[in-house]
Amino acid sequence: MFELDCRGMVCPKPVVLTRQALKDHQEIIVIVDNKTSRDNLNNLAKDKNMYFEVEEKDNLYYCKIRKGEIESRSEPKIEYLTGKTPWSIFVKTNTLGHGSDELGKNLMNAFFDALLYFEDHPKTIAFMNAGVYLTLEGSECLKEIKMLNEKGSEILVCGTCLNFFNVKERLAVGKVSNMFSILEALNGTFIIEP
């Protein structure tokens, strides 16, 4: 079985190398040394309907990934039957605009509230850097973001950012993701950056 050593690598490098290795191998073991990489590999396997198993040994995670093991279990994707171009939102801060944080928070709340009234909701809403705070318990936008998720918008939240701010346990909506998966989800869509 092919073994891929990704110790010391940060997101999204282990995911990128794993995807490349899976082009040539049916089954691989990926060695990582942090929970974020372990979780991102699990998400990759889940998204691609592959078998995933992890063994923890000596502060390392040995992630076994095998192609072709699981029938479709991925979350349904939004289908655009209206002929309109799919669009996504990339959120990199918890305020909208610069100048006044209070005004910026109010504008961000109004932005997500207004999105609920669109006929075609965004395909993906990706949160990075301070934008991840909007997906946490206590966020003033949480209700609206949850409603968008229920209406079919995929919510992706940067795991590296959650770990950096030490708030991962407070995540209240969305899927913990990584840079590569977020870029893949945004690929080919019209992107709005509030």
Which pLDDT value is given to residue 29? Answer: 96
**Architecture of the domain delimited by 2-66:** 2-Layer Sandwich (3.30)
Nearest to 137 by CA among 114, 93, 159, 168: 168
Nearest to 88 by CA among 114, 40, 120: 120
Q: Model confidence over 139-155: pLDDT tens digits?
A: 999 999 999 999 999 99
Residue boundaries of the structural domains of the chain:
2-66, 87-192
Asked, colleague to colleague, whether 2-66 and 87-192 share their fold, the answer is no
**Class of CATH domain 87-192:** alpha beta
* Residue 194: pLDDT over 80: no
Half-sphere CA count of 153, side-chain side, radius 13 A: 27
- The angle subtended at Cα 9 by Cα 5 and Cα 131, nearest 5°, is 140
Which pLDDT value is given to residue 75? Answer: 43
What is the average per-residue pLDDT within 28-37?
92
The reply to whether the predicted model has a pTM over 0.85 is no
Nearest to 160 by CA among 128, 124, 186: 128
Nearest to 189 by CA among 61, 39, 84: 84
> Hey, how many other C-beta atoms are within 10 angstroms of the C-beta on 194?
17
Nearest to 138 by CA among 98, 94, 187, 186: 94
Q: What is the DSSP string of 70-84?
A: S---SPPPP---SSP
What is the average per-residue pLDDT within 179-186?
88
Q: Model confidence over 50-107: pLDDT tens digits?
A: 999 999 999 999 999 998 754 444 444 444 444 567 889 999 999 988 889 899 999 9
